[in-house]
Amino acid sequence: MLALGTYFVGLCIGVASFKLDGVAFGLTLLTGWVMTVNGARRMISTVAHQCVHAAFSGDKRFDMAFAEVFAVLTQTQTAADYRREHFELHHRHDVFSTIDDPSAKLLWKAGFRAGASTKRLWWNLLLTTVSVRFHGAFLRRRITSQMRGAMTWQRVGAALVMLMLLTGLVSQLSLHAVMLGAVFPVVVLYQNSVLLEFISEHAWFVEPSGLGRKKYIHATHSWGRFCGRSAPKRQGGSAVRYGLDWMRWVMEHLAYHLPVRLVILPGDLSQHDFHHRRPATPCWTTAAYAREEDVRNCDERWPSYTEFWGLHHAISHVFDGIASSKRERSGMD
């Protein structure tokens, strides 16, 4: 419920910010955007994600109905589509991280092609975040999925709630305020969050080797993605230099690592590698601690855990893999 509350409060704050001026307007709008995306991503990538795995309540019918409500409120793909693409395809050993993986297919269509240089991949990532074609195709996919969804009372009720909320906001302010304060973060910022999370998540298109068992690909092709870096240490330098190192460290965390944690890797996404090793675990609500416990007591037959500190390091690792991978495994030209 905290994710849902964050989402609704973020929408209201983002729209209400248009009653303000100057710095107050900018800070309030930014706060609304962050809360909206953070709430929406946790609703889908954490709660609905566990629902499609039937791990939220243990009751599959209830979990799917709950996920459908969240899908309508955020206008993302239906829970039925999510389960089919994620649970039935993405988690299959022979599909995972190949072009047949729906997540990989989305990245391929966005221009992240096997064999491309890392420089080209970085440029493509930058351009994709502002690409009208990418965002239009992504939004069309979301809307098409919703239009195909069954007309259940949960979906209808959730749609009416969103309609009443948006209508109320427009009546109190303006369509312009709603479009920038609410629709923009739900569409563009949300989709960029998904893009940056996906592109740092797995070893896309990379041929597995020496696995032992097929399921071990979920360990070799996944890793932890954590935000932050070690605090500065004084090693004989001047006090001024040490102070500047701390200032840079603080600014880096406030301007980079904290926003990434809130908007790109919220909820349990930092330890998504743990989920791929243990998709049915009941410890998903405390995944960070469960992962650490698994690191200490991991089954020795499984490959060791890998982790990156700083989103850019994880993306660089993915790009190195894509650049060196063969087109044969991608299956598309």
The CA distances from residue 159 to 6, 28, 48, 82, in Å, are 18, 27, 17, 18
Specify the pLDDT at position 81. Answer: 93
As a whole number of Å, the CA-based R_g of the chain is 21
Domain contains 255: no
What tokens appear for 116 in the block?
């491309």
DSSP per residue, 225-255: EE---PPP---S--HHHHHHHHHHHHHHIII
Specify the pLDDT at position 328. Answer: 46
Domain contains 240: no
Q: Report pLDDT digits (tens) over 274-307.
A: 999 999 889 999 999 999 999 998 888 888 999 9
Q: How many domains is the chain built from?
A: 1
Domain contains 232: no
pLDDT averaged over the chain? 91
Domain contains 172: yes
**Its pTM surpasses 0.75:** yes
Tell me what the mean pLDDT of segment 223-237 comes to.
89
Tell me what the mean pLDDT of segment 199-211 comes to.
89
The 8-class DSSP code of residue 56 comes to S
Domain that holds residue 158: 2-227+265-330
Provide the pLDDT confidence category of residue 126 given band limits of 50, 70 and 90.
very high
Specify the pLDDT at position 327. Answer: 61
Provide the pLDDT confidence category of residue 316 given band limits of 50, 70 and 90.
very high
Specify the pLDDT at position 74. Answer: 94
pLDDT above 80 for 331 = no
Domain contains 235: no
Domain contains 245: no
Q: Report pLDDT digits (tens) over 138-178.
A: 999 999 998 888 777 777 888 888 888 778 877 778 888 88
Domain contains 254: no
Distance (Å, rounded) from C-alpha 183 to C-alpha 176?
10
Specify the pLDDT at position 150. Answer: 76
Domain contains 215: yes
